[in-house]
Structure 1
Amino acid sequence: MRLIFALLALPTCLVAPLRAQETGPLIEYEHVPAAGLPDQRLSIWLPPGYDVGERRYPVLYMHDGHNLFDVAKSNFNKIWAADKAMLAASASGKVEPHIIIGIWAPGADRYRQYLPRSAYDAVGGPLRAQMDATAGGEVVSDRYLAWIAGPLKSWVDTAFRTRPARDDTAIIGSSMGGLMSCYAFVERADVFGRAGCVSSHWPAIDPQIVEGESDAVKALWDGWFAARLGAPDGRRVWMDHGTATLDAYYAPYQQVIDKRFAAAGWVKGRDWQSKVYEGAEHEENAWAARLPEIFGWLLAKSD
């Protein structure tokens, strides 16, 4: 009955039937309206036993939701297997099972929806021109963030048995989704107490094009975090990258960001983590391989 209520509580979208997965129920919502954005789409995973108890759960929001659970709906026939990673992490007893809200990427609009608006507004010259060319339209990540932190979260907290507090609300993404997760974390520190910025695309544009602007990109992120990061205050953020394919470009930028976190008084291993995975490529199988570790550290119960 509770699941039926959840299905009916968002009446302006088309809803795919509830699917019973081996790892737990999966609900899909299509054509979800969001003001000033392309229609959104959701895949929501509920932990096993959700429908037979009264327990309330923390919530994890994840970008590129089409690549999380179902190979048949993924872009590259590869998935993060986020449901299996959550079960593996929670089996340790150190992580509570989370409801996972997978938000699909809107196709060609993905870049302009994930590029942090405040970072985009802070740059000019050739770098800004390349961002504009890549976006192909208005950068709308500020609206996307407002929708997640506002109407979407409000609906999730009403339709499902959640624990809505900041420290029970996490957000994770990879590549441009990694940038978007860090954006949500610093701009809405009141909402998101945990963030996973996986293989974040710090160059922001084609890394081969950005080579002549690499110092400007480093200065962008250093200044951006310096202005917005603030004190840890119980928050926690995970950052990482591999060393192959697109990830091979990320180390110089991540090193600048790591120094900024340390300078801001964040304690590595307690408040933030930054890891390098030798040989790991920029793709879903690599992210799936380390996702249980990411969950195990990022979502661990607070002392």
Structure 2
Amino acid sequence: MKILTALLMTTLAISVNAQQSTSTAAANVHVVDSVFTIEGLERERQVRIYLPPDYETTNDRYPVLYMHDGQNLFDDTTSFVGEWGVDEILNELYAEKRMSFIVVGIDNGQANRIHELTAWDHPKYGKAEGKPYMDFIVHTVKPYIDQTYRTINNPQNTAIIGSSLGGLISHYAIFEYPQVFGKAGILSPSYWWGEGPFIQVDSGELQGGARLYLLMGGKEGPQMVDSFQRMLRLLDEKGYSRQLKSKLVPEGEHNEQFWRREFKEVVLWLFGGPL
């Protein structure tokens, strides 16, 4: 019940902070003017873009982070109980290490979030729509981004990152679309959802150069932690330990503040030196 309550609160409360009027997004964040439609679901979706601080002063091309729950990434006025601060964190990372990224934040579907961010049907929570949602990112959003912005569009420079159900769909994505995503940040993943992700790992194959970062908070509940540890054991059995970094933070809770604190470390490992 605790886990479902958190999922539903995240799903339904996106509009709560919309009454605030002062954006906290950095100047290098903007909302894409184009209207995007998820084919097969016939839903329109908003996309938010973070461009690195040196984007306008160079001709460089950049790695891209695709992230779910775009409302929560950059701006307190659109977020649920606080933003991740992705823009501030990456601006700091640029200042400290001259690491630059483009971030593509795909807004969640609010009431449809629980369906769009799952790739496996659930007997209680209903039909999964993760396949058309991910096809939308791969076949609609990514081509637009690669045509419009100066990206490095190979898998080694394309990451997908999300939390909770967003972590679950990011897990699905790196195994289902290895030709697109070479890195995945899987934060507080909802592996309790069912056997789907475990079957996917057991029957599929992670590409040799791919990287996974799995994060969990010790205070996210026994069901979350137990399923997380079960997945780590399976990934180790499959021989992926070298491509994987995992972290269980004893005091970590299931919220944006936890993911914000850990986000820089996630990015640094995913885009670190040779394995």
TM-score of the pair, normalised by structure 2: 0.85
The corresponding residue for 1:34 is: 38
User: What are the Cα deviations for residues 108-143 of structure 1, in whole angstroms up to 9, with x where unaligned?
Assistant: 0001101114xx3xxxxxxx421xxx23xx422111
- Of 194, 202, 210, which residue of structure 2 is paired with 1:235? 210
Residue of 111, 116, 141 corresponding to 2:114:
111
8 Å Cα contact 2:182/2:211 also seen in 1: yes
> Matches of 1:68 and 1:155 in 2, distance apart?
20
For 1:125, the equivalent position in structure 2 comes to none
Q: 1:81 aligns with which of 64, 82, 85?
A: 85
The 8 Å contact of residues 30 and 40 in structure 1, kept in 2 or not, is answered as no
What CA distance in whole angstroms lies between the structure 2 residues aligned with 1:102 and 1:231?
24
Alignment-derived partner of residue 12 in structure 1: none
Contact kept, 8 Å, 2:76 with 2:83, in 1: the verdict is yes
Distance 2:52 2:165 in 1: 27
Mapped partners of 1:49, 1:200: distance in 2: 33
Structure 1 partner of 2:19: none
Q: 2:146 corresponds to which residue?
A: 157
Report the Cα offset of residue 186 of structure 1.
Answer: 0.5
Instruction: Give the corresponding residue for 1:166.
Output: 155
> How has the CA–CA distance of structure 1 residues 58 and 129 changed in structure 2, closer, same or farther, with 3 Å as cutoff?
same
- Contact 1:181–1:197 (Cα < 8 Å) also in 2: yes
Change (3 A) 1:242 1:20: closer
CA deviation profile, 1:161-197 (whole Å, cap 9, x unmatched): 0010010100000000000100111000110000011
The answer as to whether partners of 1:242 and 1:276 remain within 8 angstroms in 2 is yes
Q: Which residue of 2 is the match for residue 4 of structure 1?
A: none
Distance 2:76 2:258 in 1: 15
Instruction: State the partner residue of 2:67.
Output: 62
How far has the Cα of 1:86 moved from its partner? 1.9
Contact 1:177 1:200 in 2 (8 A): yes
Judge conservation of contact 1:25–1:48 (CA < 8 Å) in 2: no
The 1:25–1:239 alpha-carbon spacing in structure 2 relative to 1, beyond 3 Å, is same
Verify the 8 A CA contact 2:189 2:216 in the aligned structure 1.
Answer: yes
Aligned to 2:259: 287
What amino acid sits opposite 2:269 in the alignment? W
How many residues are paired up? Answer: 252
3-state DSSP of counterpart to 1:196: strand
Query: How many Å separate the matches in 1 of 2:24 and 2:86?
Result: 16
Helix, strand or coil at the partner of 2:31: strand
Question: Does the CA-based 8 Å contact 1:80-1:285 persist in structure 2?
Answer: yes
Q: Structure 1 counterpart of 2:210, which letter?
A: R
* TM-score between the two structures when normalised by the length of structure 1: 0.77
**2:83 and 2:156 mapped to 1: Cα distance?**
27
Structure 1 residues 22, 221: closer, same or farther in 2, change over 3 A?
Answer: closer
Point out where structure 1 has 5 or more consecutive residues left out of the alignment. Answer: 1-18, 121-127, 205-216
Q: Which residue does the alignment assign to 2:176? A: 187
User: 1:144 corresponds to which residue?
Assistant: 133
- Paired with 1:175 and 1:249, the residues of 2 have a C-alpha distance of 13
Gaps of 5+ in 2: 1-22
Does the alignment pair 1:197 with 2:186? Answer: yes
State the 1:221 CA deviation. Answer: 3.7
